[in-house]
Structure 1
Amino acid sequence: MYPTKEMDIRTERKENLQQKLIKLKEEKNAVILAHYYQEPEIQEVADFIGDSLELAKKAAQTSAEIIVFAGVHFMAETAKILNPSKKVLLPDLNAGCSLAESCPPDAFREMKEKYPDHMVVTYINCSAEIKTLSDIVCTSSNAEKIINSIPQDKPIIFAPDKNLGSYLMKKTGRKMLLWDGACIVHEAFSLDKLLKLYKENPSAMIIAHPESEDHILKVANYIGSTSGMLNYVKNSDHDTFIVATEAGILHQMQKDVPNKILIPAPAKEDNTCACSECAFMKMNTLQKLYNCLKNEEPEIILDNDLMEKAHRPIKRMLELS
């Protein structure tokens, strides 16, 4: 496809906006944290790009006065909990998370009350309210380590992701009471289409995120967190990979391994990218990011008591990580 005048104008606008953002960051002593699932043009201006664990650590360490979180709501909440005195901004307050929303606090509280002797481990992909009901938080990067740190005789409730919970039970040999929640992005992969794609690329390695359903994980050559998948592809001798996670990861992954072939795992629904994308992650745009920092809104505002209670399980996770 040849470049058109319209494409040139779009590129010029993008680069102009990115330059303005970089200047604005310096003026306001701001830092932009972006998840791997964000649009490439947002990743290009971010100070740090990472998965949930990496970004939580960066949020806890930053000396910036303003944190702009290019991700979804629970991530920005976590940054605010770790930095209660700083201003934390989210480009679009409606950028939620299907997994976090699958675990309403009132319903989860009722479940917890039925099992008072259980230790509550929650995946970081949950609301601040759910974190206040937790003993310890985990991410997909450190979940196995967190579970293994709990005494064998202590029963566990794991929430909200049943797919990650099921995977962890197999990995650790621990029985856990699982909350029935899931990520619609990671449940969107089609096994039939994936196997067809593999037949067309028999030398490919299938890599998958543990939020994926069991039938996808069973055919994967490697299962790991977002950062784990990136490292695996970088260090592998193979040259072709079918990637079963949100397609936004492919931007950074391709930068890391420009000579390797990366194929997004196919979704059940037919769509333009033939992959699985998170509509919530894609709600943030470069223009919204610029407006957000320029106007210093929308801002994440949380009650002090809630932040204090939610901070404890996150702190325990960071200490173990």
Structure 2
Amino acid sequence: MATMGAELAPAPGTALRERITDGPSGYTGVEATPEWAAEVKRLARQRNATILAHNYQLPEIQDVADHVGDSLALSRIAAEAPEETIVFCGVHFMAETAKILSPEKTVLIPDERAGCSLADSITAAELREWKAEHPGAVVVSYVNTTAAVKGLTDICCTSSNAVDVVASIDPDREVLFLPDQFLGAHVKRETGRENIHIWMGECHVHAGINGDELNAQARAHPDAELFVHPECGCATSALYLAGEGEFPADRVHILSTGGMIDAARAAKSSQVLVATEIGMLHQLRKAAPGIDFQAVNDRAACKYMKMITPAALLRCLEENRDEVHVDPDTAALARHSVQRMIEIGNPGGGE
């Protein structure tokens, strides 16, 4: 019992939590200090939670997480984790995918406003209408889609296995590929398939990394390797450079985020130019610290990914917010489309 007049010690992290403010760009007011990291870890243990961070997250969020990776790999980790609560530091469709694969667990996202321009580029209503125009077509959806769209999908895919997924489909069947037009163009180019219809969606960040920038960077760094995400608007330019002999073909790599990590460890050049969201550079530099990784476009930052701030993560763990829910019937249909992809034999490295 406390003695008369003695002051009770404040709860751990109280001063940190009192600094949190909510503004137009998300939760702010807390810096990623060692005190913050210790409090995040303490709260995670208290809540029996595991923290997952996507490769595009802020470096300080990646460093405090229990697991870092692409969205599908993290969702599969979530399903196997012994913890009852999953804190998914990423954008909303990623947390939904984790909930789809772990329906019995509590899934939290540090800021439910963290959306995705690519996932928002097609709605369930639009997909129903598209399917009605092509009866009998097989719907292949990138994992970067909402749960409702996955629920209307025949087979999901990732950027690393999209070619294999489409190649596995009867060549006489029409294919509706969605929602990313650049990944769809890559699949069509690789498979040579003519009966594939591609939805004209895009990630605003990847679409903004253009061919002129890549060409200029490649010519300025002729000894570098190129890591290009297939969602990028510059992917075609990268292949053109290689095809025309202007850049060695063996140094041009079209890769998923997971594939970039593997390629970084195997890279032979001392410098790598990277065309994807700039958060990826943190994990690449950790995977291969002896290589100079440089962004093709150093402004390619996703504002939604960056909404998962130190303040947002602290608030999430302290207040048990924001919880992600997926209708059980929708989740069951969506889970089937993901499972069909895995059964093909190449579960892929995520988006």
1:253 aligns with 2:284: yes
Q: Which residue does the alignment assign to 2:189?
A: 170
For residues 15-39 of structure 1, the C-alpha deviation after alignment (integer angstroms, 9 at most, x for no partner) is 1111111122222211111100000
Structure 2 counterpart of 1:206, one-letter code: L
Structure 1 counterpart of 2:197, one-letter code: L
Q: CA deviation at 1:237?
A: 1.1
Identity in percent: 41
What is the rounded CA distance, in whole Å, between the counterparts of 2:157 and 2:260 in structure 1?
A: 18
What is the rounded CA distance, in whole Å, between the counterparts of 2:83 and 2:55 in structure 1?
A: 21
Structure 2 counterpart of 1:101, one-letter code: D
Larger Rg: 2
Q: Which residue does the alignment assign to 1:113?
A: 132
Structure 2 counterpart of 1:64, one-letter code: E
Q: Which of these residues, 104, 118, 130, is aligned with residue 123 of structure 2?
A: 104
CA contact (8 A) 2:111 2:322 kept: yes
Structure 2 counterpart of 1:44, one-letter code: D
Q: CA deviation at 1:13?
A: 5.3
Gap regions ≥5 residues in structure 2 = 1-28, 243-251
Mean CA deviation greater in 194-203 or 85-94: 194-203
Q: Which residue does the alignment assign to 2:325?
A: 301
Q: CA deviation at 1:141?
A: 2.0
Secondary structure, aligned partner of 2:207: coil
What is the rounded CA distance, in whole Å, between the counterparts of 1:29 and 1:109 in structure 2?
A: 40
What is the rounded CA distance, in whole Å, between the counterparts of 2:44 and 2:120 in structure 1?
A: 32
What is the rounded CA distance, in whole Å, between the counterparts of 1:11 and 1:200 in structure 2?
A: 39
Gap regions ≥5 residues in structure 1 = 1-9, 267-273
Q: Which residue does the alignment assign to 2:315?
A: 291
1:53 aligns with 2:84: no
For residues 122-171 of structure 1, the C-alpha deviation after alignment (integer angstroms, 9 at most, x for no partner) is 00001111111100111112212212222222221100011101101111
What is the rounded CA distance, in whole Å, between the counterparts of 1:158 and 1:76 in structure 2?
A: 22
Q: CA deviation at 1:12?
A: 7.9
Q: Which residue does the alignment assign to 2:295?
A: 264
Q: CA deviation at 1:264?
A: 0.2
What is the rounded CA distance, in whole Å, between the counterparts of 1:29 and 1:317 in structure 2?
A: 31
Q: Which of these residues, 294, 304, 319, is aligned with residue 280 of structure 1?
A: 304
Q: Which residue does the alignment assign to 1:145?
A: 164
Secondary structure, aligned partner of 2:64: coil
CA RMSD of aligned residues (A): 1.7
What is the rounded CA distance, in whole Å, between the counterparts of 1:68 and 1:180 in structure 2?
A: 32
What is the rounded CA distance, in whole Å, between the counterparts of 1:285 and 1:56 in structure 2?
A: 21
Q: Which residue does the alignment assign to 2:12?
A: none
Q: CA deviation at 1:11?
A: 10
Over 3 Å counting, the alpha-carbon distance change for 1:11 and 1:306 in structure 2 is: closer
Over 3 Å counting, the alpha-carbon distance change for 1:13 and 1:54 in structure 2 is: closer
What is the rounded CA distance, in whole Å, between the counterparts of 1:69 and 1:228 in structure 2?
A: 21
Secondary structure, aligned partner of 2:329: helix
For residues 70-112 of structure 1, the C-alpha deviation after alignment (integer angstroms, 9 at most, x for no partner) is 0000000011111112110001111100101111221121011
TM-score, normalising length: structure 2: 0.83
Number of matched residues? 305
